[in-house]
Amino acid sequence: MIAATTYVCSLAHVAGQLGEDPNLLEAVISDDDNLSYGSIVSVQIGHDEYVTALTDDGICELKDMLADARRSLEDWNNFLQDFNDHPDMIAPVMDQSLR
């Protein structure tokens, strides 16, 4: 039996917990093929107002994806190049260290 998702974390909260730029995370999840189906959730917080949230599985996948991308400067730059459609979102992280 698969456990039901009982809570999600807003993308802003996840960015804070991971110490990541929210714009980078937004760029990553803007392509819903980057994370497993069902791990990205839209939460309605008002009339026609939504925030993006992630399940625990989505957070784990995102952490793993970012860790893999930061294995080397070349991997990191290649990872960021995948988001050329969102230059304004990734510009703040282009010069970040690999950690």
Q: pLDDT tens digits for 12-57?
A: 999 999 999 898 899 899 888 889 998 999 999 999 999 999 999 9
Instruction: Give the domain ranges of the chain.
Output: 9-90
Give the 3-state secondary structure of the chain. CCCCCCCCEEHHHHHHHHCCCHHHHHHHHCCCCCCCCCCEEEEEEECCEEEEEECHHHHHHHHHHHHHHCCCHHHHHHHHHCCCCCHHHHHHHCCCCCC
pTM of the model: 0.84
